[in-house]
Structure 1
């Protein structure tokens, strides 16, 4: 496993070593979120914890805590830990359909959290409540109609994930979805799915985005708590090393291709259900998670995604399979959500090195484009 330092791009850094920025990189989300650079670290369950969030914030990006996998006391503790690690703005991800969503929102307002993101669209009254308290609301969407809906409800910005992205994802690639959404709404749009370097950041800006959001690229840094053996599996994967499967909960999601996923893909519905039940029971014993919590998770997904009853248990089990890999390091038993971009990543920089590199590369690309235009005007 290589752990290379960030490589500066010639001409993109001044002598003091800090990355030279560019006016094009000062986008509306920089002011909206209070960050130096238009780079967002997405909320990944069991990955985006206080250490990663604070490291991203200290490096000038927006780190988002994965709050959906924490109970309310754990969420409060995690926010307090981030506060100890950084004074920079950060965000928290919530589930709009959580049974204690109101209590979570109260906590974020009391703690003056700058940004809240949602994987499922929050109701207009919830958006209004957060905005009235000065909290920026940023839902994630995978279709233009969803972006138009939340924009009409008052969202401050929207993260648009194309098919290359990890976890639950759609079928339209980022290169098509991003400009479509950017043309359709009048709030800042953040591109997600397939981004990992400065060239991608410039491309997203050219498509009309105000920045990029990255998950897998931040997972593969030295600031995560993900075990080395799990990171090794990501680094070893090629561009064909991921698969979009419905075998986990009936909803398409992109994960690393593993023996477990292959077995689930080729198993019939009943066999998948039995295997999932056994796996849920095994991890319930390991973690002490009550059955009622697992079933509540599945029922929440059933309501929000119209799952069949057979998919409820599969949906309830999915967080346990994610936890097995990301927390316990069980690459043989767990599920590893990933963006397709994992096939282009081969190192583990710190968040500071990564963001400095992306900014330096973006400045170099912008300078080259400007030089080309100037040459053409002569």
Structure 2
């Protein structure tokens, strides 16, 4: 699992512009850096900018219709010929259609927030698509590796969005020791020092969400970005009041109200949000109830939480698309408190790789 950190210079790139690891060899990118699939943030623009800069951009298609997903894929291909990935929900009703679309469009990497079935993995691998699920526990990594996954993204508790209780520094080596496929570390990464630290644990690269959200290529509005930039390392909270499972988000008045609301108030708010999401999405109440039942499966959720889970996209869209930080939920990793600028993806990746070279040079020989 030890990566080859030889700088990639065979293509004429300057030393420091790239780094060979098991992940870069698997996917065909220059730099062992992944931009995660953030709903309503990681569209064609951000994914293409990341991939063109040498990393792996991932289109977050879970919040897109099938038609929107197809347009996004084609838009990335128009902007760059570099490899990129697409993230979908493995439990979506149209997951198989989305997999067929990825195969037809020649997408290099299929990313999943929930473990895909062995059958879906097999379909993708037979078509030459790299399968890279995100996991939060050793046993999940072992399961998908046994099913044929090519790589895994391992997110520790520092990470934003849905997250677990185990920090990256504990979870990462645990998973690296358990599987024999490339492991990408996520949760708490934003610079070259972190990349070197992850490599020292045996990872083959790092994945970053909050750091890529806070770039000039990110579609998030300036006002919302300013909210992020004003936060410190203690200004996130893990709450189950968004969709019933642990979710790391920025602290805000809305999150405080969700946390303090009683059962009746919470249910009323969830119902109102569900009605708003129904109007915007065009889904029927029956479809939303099916979604809620699927999210409730295997979890001890109240029906208020089920409704919140079903319309979580509404809360994300309010902030990420509509620019309403006061009305939306803003997923964020703790690393937000260490970020104070908005570089382009190209500037960010170049900086991270240079910092990694400098960090390696400082290590005792």
Same fold at TM > 0.5: yes
2:15 corresponding residue in structure 1: 20
2:179 aligned with 1:185, yes or no?
Answer: yes
2:269 corresponding residue in structure 1: 275
2:205 aligned with 1:248, yes or no?
Answer: no
2:30 aligned with 1:41, yes or no?
Answer: no
2:226 aligned with 1:232, yes or no?
Answer: yes
2:170 corresponding residue in structure 1: 176
Cα contact 1:248–1:318 (8 A) shared by 2 = yes
What are structure 2's unaligned runs of at least 5 residues? Answer: 1-6
Secondary structure of the structure 2 residue equivalent to 1:330: coil
Cα contact 1:98–1:300 (8 A) shared by 2 = no
Task: Using the TM superposition, give the Cα deviation of residue 300 of structure 1 relative to its aligned residue in structure 2, in angstroms.
Answer: 2.7
For residues 290-336 of structure 1, the C-alpha deviation after alignment (integer angstroms, 9 at most, x for no partner) is 54554343233123645343321111121100011000011111000
What are structure 1's unaligned runs of at least 5 residues? Answer: 1-11, 374-378
1:90 corresponding residue in structure 2: 84
2:132 corresponding residue in structure 1: 138
Task: Using the TM superposition, give the Cα deviation of residue 263 of structure 1 relative to its aligned residue in structure 2, in angstroms.
Answer: 0.6
2:345 corresponding residue in structure 1: 351
Match of 1:68 among 56, 62, 80: 62
1:3 corresponding residue in structure 2: none
Alignment of 1:281-360 (within 5 A): 281-285=275-279, 290-303=284-297, 305=299, 307-360=301-354
CA RMSD across the alignment: 1.9
For residues 180-215 of structure 1, the C-alpha deviation after alignment (integer angstroms, 9 at most, x for no partner) is 100111111000000000000000000110000000
1:216 corresponding residue in structure 2: 210
1:121 corresponding residue in structure 2: 115
Cα contact 2:270–2:305 (8 A) shared by 1 = no
TM-score (norm 2): 0.93
Compared CA separation, residues 226 and 310, structure 1 to 2 (3 A): same
Cα contact 1:22–1:363 (8 A) shared by 2 = no
For 1:41 and 1:31, how far apart are their aligned partners in 2? 17
Task: Using the TM superposition, give the Cα deviation of residue 287 of structure 1 relative to its aligned residue in structure 2, in angstroms.
Answer: 5.9
For residues 210-242 of structure 1, the C-alpha deviation after alignment (integer angstroms, 9 at most, x for no partner) is 000000000000001100011011100101110
Secondary structure of the structure 2 residue equivalent to 1:92: strand
Compared CA separation, residues 354 and 74, structure 1 to 2 (3 A): same
More relative contact order, 1 or 2 (CA 8 Å, 6+ apart): 1
For 1:277 and 1:50, how far apart are their aligned partners in 2? 32
Task: Using the TM superposition, give the Cα deviation of residue 349 of structure 1 relative to its aligned residue in structure 2, in angstroms.
Answer: 0.1
2:21 aligned with 1:31, yes or no?
Answer: no
TM-score (norm 1): 0.90
2:4 corresponding residue in structure 1: none
Secondary structure of the structure 1 residue equivalent to 2:34: strand
Compared CA separation, residues 362 and 107, structure 1 to 2 (3 A): same
For 2:92 and 2:280, how far apart are their aligned partners in 1? 24
